[in-house]
Amino acid sequence: MKNIILVLSVLMMVALGIGTYYYQKQDQMTYPKQYQPNHPDEPQQPKPLRPVNYEKISYSLQNNQLNITYNKGTDWVKVPIEKDLLFDGEYRGNKQELIEGSYILTENRAVFLYAKGNMGSKKILLTYSLDQGKTWQDAVVKESFPSIRFRKVDFLNNHFGYVIISGDRTMSQEYSMALLTHDGGKTWRATKDSGNTSLIYDGGFIDESTGFLSYGIINPEKPDLYVTQNVPFSNL
């Protein structure tokens, strides 16, 4: 009986020693790290474009780009103009909407007026499309002009249009001018200077020979109004 107990004790000691050995060995083993697939940071997808209003023909300035739509945002056309150029010059808005009067967006014509160039001298440019953005044309309205403030463009028909701009403002004085096109916007010619250096409030043409310029934005209820019924052109 004593021999059996002795044998069992020896076997238990051997088993305990083997178990301790393998336990210590297991602690020293290094296991490969769990495999984790490498997912590079995916770029954030731009938000879907939304028109600035509920009109059928509209635009969006999202994603730092001007896009236009002719079907309430179902389809979009990118306009080939840098967004910041559309607000170049004296501007105090938030760039969420285009400057009033600086563009035309209709079924048959998309027109955008803007300035581009160095601080001292800017080109006044027009980018336009007559086929809903399938093709675009660029035109130089004025080769050299100071920093722009007021800007307005309009077309009365397929051929005749006008641009009114002002710039180089100092306090309540500035330079302003009107330019006309008779070939759909391809070429532009300046009208004769009115001689008034007050801040311009508005202006326009009701036909190809009758136009007006309104000066005095501080008191627009009683502006200085200049009217012409026989447009004189400048030699500039």
Is 28 domain-assigned?
no
CA nearest neighbour of 151 among 185, 104, 82: 104
Residue 190, pLDDT > 90, answer: yes
Q: Residue 93 has what pLDDT?
A: 87
Is 51 domain-assigned?
no
Per the structure, the complete domain to which residue 138 belongs is given by 98-228
d(CA 103, CA 8): 101
Is 75 domain-assigned?
no
Q: Residue 161 has what pLDDT?
A: 98
Is 149 domain-assigned?
yes
d(CA 121, CA 99): 21
Is 3 domain-assigned?
no
* Predicted TM-score of the model (pTM): 0.78
Domain count, the chain: 1
Is 116 domain-assigned?
yes
Q: How confident is the model at residue 44 (pLDDT cuts 50, 70, 90)?
A: confident
CA nearest neighbour of 104 among 27, 158, 179, 41: 158
Is 126 domain-assigned?
yes
- The pLDDT tens digits of the residues spanning 64-114 come to 999 999 999 999 999 999 999 999 999 888 899 999 999 999 999 999 999
Is 213 domain-assigned?
yes
Residue at token pair 């002795």: 6
CA nearest neighbour of 228 among 204, 206, 212: 212
CATH number at residue 159: 2.120.10.10
Q: Residue 194 has what pLDDT?
A: 85
CA nearest neighbour of 112 among 135, 134, 129, 89: 129
